[in-house]
Amino acid sequence: MEIIDSHCHLQDPALFPHRAGIIARAKNAGVTYMLTCGTSPEDWQSVCDIAHEYSGIIPAFGVHPHKCDSIPADWEKRLIDMLGNTKSAVGEIGLDFAEKGIDRTRQQAIFIRQMEIARELKRPVSIHARQCWDVMPALLEKYAHDLIIIIHSCSASRELIPRLTDGAIYCSFSGTLTYSRNKRAHDAVRAVPRDRLLIESDAPDLPPVINGAVQHDVPNEPGNITATLKSMAVLRVVDEDTMAGTLLQNTLRALTAVMS
């Protein structure tokens, strides 16, 4: 069984002391590629270095909405340079209206500029969308037929899924899919068209339920994605091998432009 983790953060300091072992365990679990997403100019070089050091690491560079108020003035030039010098995606970018104190107008301006850069450079995009579903669908529709868009850890309602899966938009689901109380995600994953489903770990965050419990005391790892795969297969009423094959085909289609 082969799995591609469509969103993680291997550069995160929480994973640093044990990164080699974490990557080895992921590969032993069948995770052959990991899209490793930067969050600001501060960690882009680390993402780049990890991609050079380990096989199967796909780098992505972007400004996370939480970082919008702390990025340097030359962030745009640095992003274009980093993308131009690497085979990479754009991410993690997006909107987060749950976070208080981060200017929404600035978030949207930085997000839109990064979408424009991705379109200019023909790169897939990994999107963070939290409590912004009143504005995000309309923004995505402007790019859905020009860009491959991955909605990371999709939290959209079932009702929004038909609108979100127009064009080249994919919905990726994380370990929160394994939570029995997360009916919103369960309904959404059932509604996503078969060819628009992706899976992710979001390591070191959003750990799945493993052996009946969520391990909040240790960082999540890409190798734990198999637990999410099992839940997705149950919710989609297919066997795990079929689910894995579908996800593999979809992720290869979405990320082929940035895979070695």
| pLDDT tens-place string over residues 209-219 | 999 999 888 99
What average pLDDT does this structure show over 150-158? 98
Q: pLDDT at residue 260 above 80?
A: no
What average pLDDT does this structure show over 3-19? 97
Confidence at 167, pLDDT banded by 50, 70, 90: confident
Per residue, what are the HEC states of the chain? Answer: CCEEEEEECCCCCCCHHHHHHHHHHHHHCCEEEEEEECCCHHHHHHHHHHHHHCCCEEEEECCCHHHCCCCCCCHHHHHHHHHHCCCCEEEEEEEECCCCCCCHHHHHHHHHHHHHHHHHHCCCEEEEEECCCCCHHHHHHCCCCCCCEEECCCCCCHHHHHHHCCCCEEEEECHHHHCCCCHHHHHHHHHCCHHHEEECCCCCCCCCEECCEECCCCCCCHHHHHHHHHHHHHHHCCCHHHHHHHHHHHHHHHHHHHCC
What average pLDDT does this structure show over 120-145? 97
Task: Please tell me the total count of domains within the chain.
Answer: 1
Domain CATH for 161: 3.20.20.140
Prior bond of 204 cis (ω within 30°): yes
Question: Checking phi first, is residue 221 left (phi over 0); if not, alpha (psi -120 to 50) or beta?
Answer: beta
Full residue range of the structural domain in which residue 219 is found = 3-258
Closest C-alpha to 93, from 67, 119, 128: 128
What average pLDDT does this structure show over 55-74? 97
State the chain's mean pLDDT as an integer. Answer: 97
Q: Residue 188's pLDDT is what?
A: 98
pTM strictly above 0.85 = yes
Closest C-alpha to 165, from 128, 198, 205: 198
Cα–Cα distance, 9 to 224 (Å, whole number): 14
